[in-house]
Amino acid sequence: MNTKKLLALFGLRDIETKIYEELFSGGALTASGLAKRVGISRTSIYDLLERLTETGLVTETLQGGVKKFVVQPPGKIQLLIGEKERELGEAKQITQELQQAYEHKHTSAKPRLQLFEGRAELQQMMKDLLLYRDITVQAFWPIKKITALLSPEFMTKFHEERAIRNITLRVIWPTAQLSTLKTYPHLKSSPELKRAARIAPNGIDFSLGYSIYQNTVRFISSSSENFGFLVESAELANVMKAQFELIWRQSKKL
C-alpha cells in the first residue's frame, strides 16, 4: 500500500509520513511510545504530532486517563481531499483571471527571452510546453544526450503528460542517438504517444536541440554545457519552422 503518494497531498515530510504509518499500524500510541518507535526525542515528537493534528490526519484521544494519538479513518481523509479539490477549483478560477490580467499588462511586440541552467531549471523549462493543449510541436532533438541530461524518469512522465494533453510531436533524431530507442519505451513512434519521428540525413549530427510550438522556440544544450533558453518570437518561430520542414522532407521515416 503506497501511503506516501496519498500523504504527499498534505505536504508531509518524510518523518511526518513515518509517524503516520507507525500510528496506522500500531493503533493508539502515546507520544513517548511513538518517539521510541520512530527514533526521535519527545520534544520533537510533540511538534510533529501538532502538525499532523492540524492537517486533520491524526487526532488525540484519552484511554484510561492517558493521552494517546490515533489516525483518522480513511473516510475523514476523503473529506479532506474533497476540501482540497474545492480549493483547487477556486485556485484555477483565480489563475484564469490572473492570466487575463497578465496578458493585458504584458503585451509587447518585442521577443521575450528566459534563461535556464542546471537539471532542475531545465526540467521546469520543459514543462512550459505542458501549459498548452491540442497543438503540434516540431523538434530537432538529440535524444540520447537530452535524456541523460534531464533523466529518463522525468522524460517518461513528461511524454505521458504531453500525450494526455493531445500535444503531437514531430521530431527529427540524429542517427548517432538511436541506441536510446531500445532502452526507453517512451521514445517509441506511435499514435498512442502522439509522435511521428524521422532520422536526420547522414552527416547531420547535433548536440543542441530545439523545439517549436506556438510562437515559442525552446533551445536546450547537452549535459556538457547544461543550459537552455526560451524565446517568444513569432518571427523566429516561423524561420525555425521553415528550417525544420526543409530537413523533415530530407529525413528518413523511422
Quote the pLDDT of residue 190: 66
Q: Which three cell numbers stand for residue 104?
A: 493585458
Show Cβ contacts of residue 251 under 8 Å, excluding neighbours closer than 6 positions.
Answer: 172, 198, 199, 200, 201
Local structure of 61: helix, strand or coil? strand
Distance separating alpha carbons of residues 199 and 197, to the nearest angstrom: 7
In the chain the domains, ranked by start, together with CATH numbers, are 3-72 (1.10.10.10), 112-253 (3.30.870.10)
What is the value of pTM for the model shown? Answer: 0.59
Quote the pLDDT of residue 171: 92
Quote the pLDDT of residue 217: 92
Q: What is the pLDDT along the chain (254 residues), one digit of tens a residue?
A: 667 778 888 888 888 889 888 888 888 888 898 999 889 888 889 889 888 898 888 888 888 888 899 888 888 888 888 888 888 888 888 887 787 776 666 555 555 888 888 888 999 889 888 888 899 999 998 888 888 888 888 988 999 899 999 999 999 988 876 666 666 666 666 677 888 889 888 877 777 889 999 889 999 987 677 889 999 888 999 999 999 999 999 998 87
Radius of gyration of the chain (CA): 25
Quote the pLDDT of residue 182: 66
Show Cβ contacts of residue 150 under 8 Å, excluding neighbours closer than 6 positions.
Answer: 119, 122, 123, 126, 158
Identify the H or E element spanning 86. Answer: helix 74-105
Quote the pLDDT of residue 179: 65
Q: Is 89 exposed, middle or buried (0-12, 13-18, 19+ CB in 10 A)?
A: exposed
Show Cβ contacts of residue 137 under 8 Å, excluding neighbours closer than 6 positions.
Answer: 129, 167, 168, 169, 170, 211, 212, 213
Distance separating alpha carbons of residues 142 and 167, to the nearest angstrom: 20
Quote the pLDDT of residue 105: 66
Quote the pLDDT of residue 144: 83
CA atoms within 13 A on the CB side of 241: 13
Quote the pLDDT of residue 95: 82
For 98-192, where are the E strands, in sequence order? Answer: 112-117, 136-140, 168-173
